[in-house]
């Protein structure tokens, strides 16, 4: 790859694809190149964070811009890293291997200028000429031979790469960089330029290392590197420093946090783990390690809440799936909302106002928490539940001339038996108490019929919740209406008494008891040979007692005819 010279080399930087850079923080054994959006096909930060960059982390670096130079020691140009020429404090660089690897891993290769360049064709030809079975692949005949190691220019360049020092080193400023490199080169120049020899060394003193050796160059690099670095200020110290401007303080905090995160992530990767896996496992522990890990997450969440707010903290730290599960756990079953709406007699418009004002409706907006169903959801739920209930217990109209509805006695009995079995053991003989009463809903001209399971262990038979309605009619308490109301009920009752009920493979015998008030008893009582008989009718000489056949007479009749005295 062809490297660039400095920004004052006379060539336009925009015409070159590759710009070689040098720095004391980079490996001098590798050729490093500046990364920009044109070369990477996108942001350099993403280019250096893909999976291949994690496999070869030593091939990608983020370095300070001030410490970068071109081949000839001239400071790097900002146009090498950004097409707009805007200066960035930290830039991305990649080795020759990392650069080629990252470019070839891009999805749209045809759009990259590097693929159509002469440098890429040279790399392809050089790789194709390699003999992978040999220990040392020979140089392809079609590729120009690299410079010989004993070449003076090559040695000079190697010394410049090894002895490069950033301008921020103590006692060194940017204007003096080039003379410094020239002087260092003169001090360590090989013996081939000036045939000078070192003075003889006494036998008891070991010979000094030759200037052309690689360890000598590395030692020179260590000698001119600052021996001690300044202690990095902590984030708390940066936050408490009032001398820094808000913008600069925020920038320094961000840089320090990124560097520490990079070091922690690198430590985990070197041990074959990830930071999220380690913290996740620690949070599941019950000892001190688990408590400390959970406190870390608590402090992180509290810090983000203080800086960004609760809603942003939840959206940043929790995945959408986890937050949806949390919202679902706050809900109750939808039928509970329907039951509440029906019992509280809330209208549809009032329910809609409730969801709009509380912002708890399932509107699909990010500003609302999807907890309470909307008006249309409740209406659809009510329709669906009512249809299922209507089919389950067989709701049907009462016989003609009696307005109202009734349910199938057998299906309701099966439902009650299953409920009783769920809460305890059942006897083989079950007793149901039939009840008839008027005005059940505090209204006029209403009659209801229901039954209660007397053997239920989970609920008292005297409780109103133990009554299961069988029929509700909007009629007066007359004998004709009551007979029509009980017509189907009596048929089904006799069938159940005669055959019993099979529930989930088990047979149960059913007995019935009837409970009603005295008025209803008189209305339903009839003689065997006279269905039109009415007990306790109007006038005299009528039967009025349910236990005997006594007649109603006047008081004067009793005194005159029978001689009774009531004194």
Q: What digits encode the pLDDT tens for the residues 478-498? A: 888 888 888 888 899 999 989
The span from the CA of 1 to the CA of 113, in Å, is: 14
Could you give the 3-state DSSP secondary structure of residue 543? strand
- Predicted confidence at residue 351, as pLDDT, reads 92
If residue 93 lies in a helix (H) or strand (E), which one and from where to where? strand 90-95
- Strands of the 429-438 sheet, one edge to the other: 396-397, 404-406, 468-473, 447-453, 429-438, 506-516, 501-503
- Tokens for 545? 């007692």
Contact 453, 467 (CB under 8 A): no
The span from the CA of 212 to the CA of 189, in Å, is: 7
- Predicted confidence at residue 15, as pLDDT, reads 59
- Tokens for 267? 């430590």
The span from the CA of 515 to the CA of 526, in Å, is: 17
Place of tokens 């001339």: 401
The span from the CA of 105 to the CA of 60, in Å, is: 15
Hey, which residues does 361 pair with through a beta bridge? 372
Contact 57, 98 (CB under 8 A): no
Place of tokens 């560097």: 259
Residue 439's φ and ψ, nearest 5 degrees, are: 50, 60
Which residues does the chain have with pLDDT short of 70? 1-15, 107-108, 110-111, 133-231, 442-443, 528-531, 537, 554-567
The alpha carbon of 105 is separated from its chain's Cα centroid by a whole number of angstroms, namely 30
Contact 459, 466 (CB under 8 A): yes
The answer, as to whether pTM is greater than 0.85, is no
- Predicted confidence at residue 67, as pLDDT, reads 83
Cβ count within 10 A of residue 280: 12
* CA-closest candidate to residue 265, choices 279, 284, 282: 279
Contact 92, 68 (CB under 8 A): no
Residue 498 CB-density burial (10 A; 0-12 exposed, 13-18 middle, 19+ buried):
exposed
Cβ count within 10 A of residue 391: 10
The span from the CA of 178 to the CA of 204, in Å, is: 40
Residues 6+ apart with CB under 8 A from 193: 152
Residue 355 CB-density burial (10 A; 0-12 exposed, 13-18 middle, 19+ buried):
buried
- Predicted confidence at residue 365, as pLDDT, reads 84
- Predicted confidence at residue 547, as pLDDT, reads 72
Contact 390, 383 (CB under 8 A): no
Residue 53's φ and ψ, nearest 5 degrees, are: -70, -30
The span from the CA of 409 to the CA of 99, in Å, is: 82
The span from the CA of 121 to the CA of 259, in Å, is: 38
* CA-closest candidate to residue 470, choices 440, 500, 429: 440
Residue 386's φ and ψ, nearest 5 degrees, are: -65, -40
* CA-closest candidate to residue 425, choices 506, 513, 514: 506
The span from the CA of 487 to the CA of 471, in Å, is: 11
Residues 6+ apart with CB under 8 A from 415: 392, 393
If residue 358 lies in a helix (H) or strand (E), which one and from where to where? helix 348-358
**Rounded to 10 degrees, what is the CA torsion of 307, 313, 315, 318?**
140
């Amino acid at each position: 790859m062809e490297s660039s010279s400095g920004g004052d080399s006379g060539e336009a930087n925009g015409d070159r694809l590759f710009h070689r850079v040098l720095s004391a923080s980079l490996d001098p054994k590798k050729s490093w190149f500046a990364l920009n959006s044109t070369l990477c096909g996108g942001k350099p930060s993403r280019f250096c964070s893909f999976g291949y960059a994690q496999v070869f982390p030593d091939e990608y670096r983020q370095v300070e811009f001030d410490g970068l130079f071109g081949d000839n020691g001239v400071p790097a140009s900002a146009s090498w890293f950004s097409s707009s020429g805007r200066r960035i404090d930290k830039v991305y660089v990649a080795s020759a291997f990392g650069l080629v690897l990252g470019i070839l891993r891009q999805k749209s290769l045809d759009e990259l200028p590097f693929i159509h360049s002469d440098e890429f064709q040279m790399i392809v030809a050089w790789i194709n000429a390699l003999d992978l079975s040999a220990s040392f692949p020979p140089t392809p005949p079609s590729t120009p031979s690299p410079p010989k190691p004993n070449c003076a220019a090559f040695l000079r360049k190697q010394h410049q790469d090894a002895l490069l020092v950033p301008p921020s080193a103590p006692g060194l400023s940017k204007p003096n960089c080039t003379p410094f490199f020239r002087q260092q080169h003169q001090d360590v120049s090989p013996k081939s330029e000036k045939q000078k020899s070192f003075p003889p060394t006494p036998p008891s003193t070991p010979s000094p290392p030759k200037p052309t050796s690689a360890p000598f160059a590395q030692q020179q690099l260590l000698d001119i590197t600052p021996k001690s670095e300044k202690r990095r200020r902590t984030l708390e110290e940066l936050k408490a420093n009032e001398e820094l401007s808000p913008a600069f303080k925020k920038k320094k905090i961000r840089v320090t946090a990124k560097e520490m995160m990079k070091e922690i992530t690198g430590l985990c990767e070197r041990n074959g783990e990830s930071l999220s896996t380690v913290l996740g496992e620690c949070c599941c522990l019950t000892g001190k390690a688990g408590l400390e890990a959970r406190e870390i997450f608590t402090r992180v969440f509290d810090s983000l809440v203080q800086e960004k707010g609760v809603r942003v903290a939840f959206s940043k730290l929790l995945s959408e799936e986890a937050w949806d599960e949390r919202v679902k756990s706050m809900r109750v079953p939808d039928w509970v909302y329907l039951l509440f709406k029906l019992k509280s007699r809330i209208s549809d418009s009032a329910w809609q106002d409730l969801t709009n004002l509380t912002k708890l409706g399932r509107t699909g907006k990010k500003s609302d928490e999807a907890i309470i169903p909307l008006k249309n959801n409740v209406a659809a739920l009510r329709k669906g539940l009512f249809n299922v209930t209507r089919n389950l217990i067989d709701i049907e109209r009462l016989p003609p001339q009696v307005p109202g509805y009734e349910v199938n006695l057998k299906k309701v009995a099966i439902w009650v038996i299953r409920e009783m079995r769920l809460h305890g053991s059942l006897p083989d003989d079950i007793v149901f108490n039939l009840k008839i009463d008027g005005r059940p809903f505090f209204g006029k001209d209403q009659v209801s019929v229901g039954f209660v399971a007397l053997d239920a262990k989970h609920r008292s038979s005297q409780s109103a919740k133990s009554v299961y309605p069988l029929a509700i009619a909007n009629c007066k308490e007359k004998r004709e209406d009551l007979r029509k109301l009980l017509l189907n009920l009596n048929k089904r009752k006799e069938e159940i008494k005669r055959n019993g009920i099979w529930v989930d493979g088990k047979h149960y015998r059913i007995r019935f008891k009837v409970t009603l008030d005295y008025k209803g008893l008189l209305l339903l009582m009839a003689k065997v040979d006279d269905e039109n008989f009415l007990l306790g009718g109007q006038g005299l000489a009528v039967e009025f007692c349910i236990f005997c056949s006594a007649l109603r007479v006047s008081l004067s009749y009793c005194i005159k005819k029978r001689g009774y005295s009531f004194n």
